[in-house]
Amino acid sequence: MDFHRKEGVVYKTLLQWVSLSAARMQTTRLSGTTLLFSLAVSLAASLRISPSRCQFFELDSVSLSCEDQGSSAGGRVWRNTTEGRSSECGADWGKLRGSSCNISTLYPSDSGVYWCESGSGEHRHAVNITVHDGAVILESPVLPVNQGQAVTLRCRYQTPPSNLTAAFYKDGSLVRTEAAGEMTIPAVSTSDVGLYRCSNSELEGSPESWLAVRVRLMVDISIFKPSLPFLPPPLPPPPPSLCWSLCCWLVSLSLWSLCWWCCSSGRDVKVVGRELLPEM
Per residue in 102-122, pLDDT tens? 999 999 999 999 999 877 777
- Region 75-85: what's the mean pLDDT? 87
Question: Sign of the CA dihedral 259, 264, 265, 267?
Answer: positive
Q: How confident is the model at residue 23 (pLDDT cuts 50, 70, 90)?
A: very low
CA distances (Å), origin 32, targets 55, 217, 227, 228, 250: 45, 16, 17, 18, 51
- Region 187-214: what's the mean pLDDT? 94
- Region 16-35: what's the mean pLDDT? 36
What b-and-e string marks burial along 151-160, b requiring 16 or more CB atoms within 10 Å of the CB? bebbbbbeee
Res. 209: pLDDT tops 70: yes
Res. 28: pLDDT tops 50: no
- Region 142-160: what's the mean pLDDT? 94
Phi and psi at residue 224, to the nearest 5°: -90, -5
pLDDT of residue 195: 97
pLDDT of residue 83: 80
- Region 218-242: what's the mean pLDDT? 59
Q: What percentage of the chain has pLDDT greater than the value 70?
A: 64
Average pLDDT, the chain: 76
Rounded CA-CA distance 118/44 in Å is 11
Phi and psi at residue 22, to the nearest 5°: -95, -5
- Region 162-190: what's the mean pLDDT? 95
DSSP state of 71: B
Looking from the CA of 91 toward its CB, the CA atoms found within 13 Å total: 10
pLDDT of residue 69: 53
Asked, as a colleague might, if the bond just before 51 is cis with ω within 30 of 0, I would say yes
Res. 210: pLDDT tops 70: yes
Best CA proximity match to 196, nearest among 140, 134, 143: 140
Res. 201: pLDDT tops 80: yes
Phi and psi at residue 158, to the nearest 5°: -70, -40
Best CA proximity match to 217, nearest among 145, 147, 149: 147
Rounded CA-CA distance 269/280 in Å is 9
DSSP, collapsed to helix, strand or coil, labels residue 220 as: strand
Other Cβ atoms less than 10 A from the Cβ of 170: the count is: 19
Between 239 and 21, residue with greater pLDDT: 239
